[in-house]
Amino acid sequence: MYNEFHKIPIPEEKLDKTIEKSIGILKRKRRRKIQKYTMVSVGSLAAVFVCVIVVCIANPVMASKLPLIGDIFAQVEKDISFSGDYSHKAQKLVPEDNTVNDADAEGGENEYEETAQAYSATDRDITLTASEVYCDGTSLFITIAMERKESLGVMWGYDNQYAGWGNGGGETDLVQLLGSYSINGSQEKDYDFSLEGKQVNETTFLGVVKINLMEELNAGEAPYELQISWDAINWGDKSGTVESDVAGEGNEGICFFRGKWVLAIPVSVTSDNVQTYEVNNTNEDGIGIGKVTVTPYEVKVEPIEPEISSEQIRKIYDKAKKQAEEALGKEQAEEFYTEAYLDSSEPLHIGVAVFDQDGQRVRWVEDMGVYETYALKEKEITKLSLYVIVDDITAIKAKDQEKAAACAVYSEEIELEK
């Protein structure tokens, strides 16, 4: 998959704040803090990833073009970052396609059209239609179909190198949606949504959006109402043929559209197989682990990072380097921290390396501020080993459990409940 976003020069002085937010992240102002891996901006590098899957449908005739409109999860769930079996758990918003195609079926095309319109929003000749929803109380996944009257071009993918997917096998198409969301009329929360999936034809993209919930939702309660409002859509076009709101030299291949797309979606919570562990422990420097949440799809780890002076940070770094040298030897210690940025003039930026019961790394996907998220890639986990490293990039890229354990300033092991 074509992936050269890092080569695109963005004249930020010519962009308004919205575009800067969407695209300007290409030039990371701070190399250290990796955000969610979104597309053109690789913005908020971060999964996310959110993952709302949008299926874009302008009218019922689209059923003939998109045969499994109510089953988008089944088409993309194996390819997204937080892969797994969603299709057998998700609630369907749009009726099964056989209701549309069977003239004798109750409701028929009218039912499909009315339902699709209820969960669709159109602006700038781009239609977003929500098809399925799955929520475990900590994360919310929505499938969406995106359709444009004109061509989408040839969409670019991403390759999350920090997560260790730099061999081309981890690439997928990605659309960035900027906006906000609210639940049951609560205050809107700004959010950079990553729609991860695949372009199925010249005008249609099927994907999943993941919302990392800051406040957990409870199972067994009446359905929640999720309202999503998007102000901009952004993707990369390898062909460079799509005309959008961002044009001119240096912006070739960037597709950016301002608009307004609002969806109201009912959400029921299924919290089966979600396990939460309150660790809440630190070392003498105040570095440690708070809460750890494990679902069939991901692990969420809350690092505890103290706000301390630059002098205290320098001492922590010196102590960590000495610990590594004593455990590994000077040469291997330097190799372990080869990409570290241990500058005490900047805030502490710890990371957590996570390994499973087989000593295999659980791959980091995104930093959501409060917690780090790791993708299980459909593997059954019985034990987690967590190692806090004084540098986030070093922790993310750590592959050797013994070295991670030797260099960790805090560690924790969790035996999962059966």
pLDDT mean over 245-254: 79
Higher pLDDT residue, 393 or 16? Answer: 393
How much of the chain is helix, strand and coil, in % rounded to 5? 20, 35, 45
Q: Are 245 and 157 in contact (CB under 8 A)?
A: no
Report the predicted TM-score, pTM, of the whole model to 2 decimal places: 0.79
User: What percentage of the chain has pLDDT greater than the value 70?
Assistant: 73
Distances in whole angstroms, Cα of residue 322 to Cα of each of 274, 283, 325, 401, 407: 39, 17, 5, 19, 9
Q: 252: which 2 tokens?
A: 């070739």
Q: Are 349 and 32 in contact (CB under 8 A)?
A: yes
Q: How far apart are alpha carbons 368 and 200 in whole angstroms?
A: 30
Confidence of residue 416 (pLDDT cuts 50, 70, 90): very high
Kind of pairing between the strands at 51-54 and 139-148 = parallel
Residue 405 in this model has a pLDDT that exceeds 80: yes
Q: Cα-Cα-Cα-Cα dihedral of 177, 179, 182, 187, to 10°?
A: 160
Amino acid, res. 250: G
Higher pLDDT residue, 69 or 350? Answer: 350
Q: Cα-Cα-Cα-Cα dihedral of 196, 202, 203, 206, to 10°?
A: -30
User: Which pLDDT belongs to residue 6?
Assistant: 33
User: What percentage of the chain has pLDDT greater than the value 90?
Assistant: 64
pLDDT tens string 223-238: 999 999 999 999 999 8
User: Which pLDDT belongs to residue 117?
Assistant: 76
pLDDT tens string 33-81: 333 333 333 333 233 323 333 333 334 334 334 444 668 999 999 989 9
Q: How far apart are alpha carbons 96 and 112 in whole angstroms?
A: 8
